[in-house]
């Protein structure tokens, strides 16, 4: 027979309290009998000292993180508001409807203009060749219209054979 003493049952060793006096991150035993060895999620103290020593603490404080997030959110909201206002306030828009190749030196461009009634507008149109190079350009003044939308057809002289035409932009005069 062996004279070895029976080994005691393993028990959870209490964790040493951190040096700053804050409660430990893990509970040393069951506080109510149901969370043995589970993390104490209610603790708001710093991370365990051995982990902070190994990996280092946070790069910036929690307060600085909240301030930076608040500033970032404010900037994002301001940018979205400016972009939204830019596209809702822009009252003048032009869209190419069609183009017709008239001959080797001319192309007709039809476009729909949306502008506030009573606003005179200047539009820039261009004619393009097969290589997408500009072979014709024209700025045309559109007199004030009584309706918000109007269709216009303009002939553009070209320096070569144009295969397409488009409205570049329209702005108030």
The per-residue pLDDT for range 123-164, each reduced to its tens digit, is 999 999 999 999 999 999 999 999 999 999 999 999 999 999
Of 1-5, 46-50, 54-58, the one with minimum mean pLDDT is 1-5
Taking the CB of residue 167, how many other CB atoms lie within 10 A of it? 22
**Euclidean distance between CA atoms 96 and 4, whole angstroms:** 98
Q: In percent, how much of the chain has pLDDT > 90? A: 57
β-bridge partners, 172: 121
| Token pair for 143 | 């007199």
> What is the structure's pLDDT at 134?
96
How does DSSP assign the chain, residue by residue?
A: ---PPPPPPP-PPPPPPPTTSPPPSB-SS-SSSS-TT-B-TT--SPPPHHHHHHH---SS-HHHHHHHHHHHHHHHHHHHHHHHHHHHH---EEEEEEEEEEETTEEEEEEEEE--TT--EEEEEEEE-TTS-EEEEEEEEE---SSSEEEEEEEEE-SS---EEEEEEEEE-
The residue with greater pLDDT, 47 or 163, is 163
- Of 163, 156, 154, nearest in space to 110 by CA: 154
Reported pTM: 0.51
CATH class of this structure's domain 93-172: mainly beta
At residue 84 the predicted structure's pLDDT band, cuts being 50, 70 and 90, is confident
What are the domain boundaries of the chain?
A: 58-87, 93-172
- Angle (CA) 147-149-154 rounded to 5° is 110
β-bridge partners, 109: 99, 154
The residue with greater pLDDT, 48 or 163, is 163
Considering the chain, what is the average pLDDT of its residues? 81
Query: What average pLDDT does the segment 114-124 reach?
Result: 94
- Residues 14 and 31: beta-carbon distance below 8 Å: no
Query: Over 70: is that where the pLDDT of 6 sits?
Result: no
> What is the structure's pLDDT at 27?
46
The residue with greater pLDDT, 65 or 47, is 65
């Amino acid at each position: 027979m062996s004279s070895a003493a029976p080994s005691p049952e393993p028990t959870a060793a209490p964790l040493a309290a951190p040096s700053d006096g804050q409660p430990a991150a893990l509970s040393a035993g069951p506080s109510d009998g149901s969370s043995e060895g589970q993390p104490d999620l209610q603790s708001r103290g710093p991370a365990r000292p051995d982990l902070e020593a190994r990996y280092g603490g946070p790069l910036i404080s929690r307060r600085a993180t909240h301030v930076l997030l608040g500033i970032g959110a404010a900037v994002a909201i301001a940018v979205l508001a400016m972009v939204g206002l830019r596209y809702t306030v822009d009252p003048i828009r032009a869209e190419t409807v069609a183009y017709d190749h008239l001959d080797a030196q001319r192309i007709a461009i039809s476009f729909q203009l949306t502008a506030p009634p009573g606003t005179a507008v200047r539009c820039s149109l261009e004619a393009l060749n097969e290589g997408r190079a500009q072979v014709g350009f024209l700025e045309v003044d559109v007199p004030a219209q009584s309706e918000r939308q109007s269709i216009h057809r303009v002939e553009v002289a070209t320096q070569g054979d144009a295969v397409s035409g488009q409205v570049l932009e329209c702005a108030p005069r």
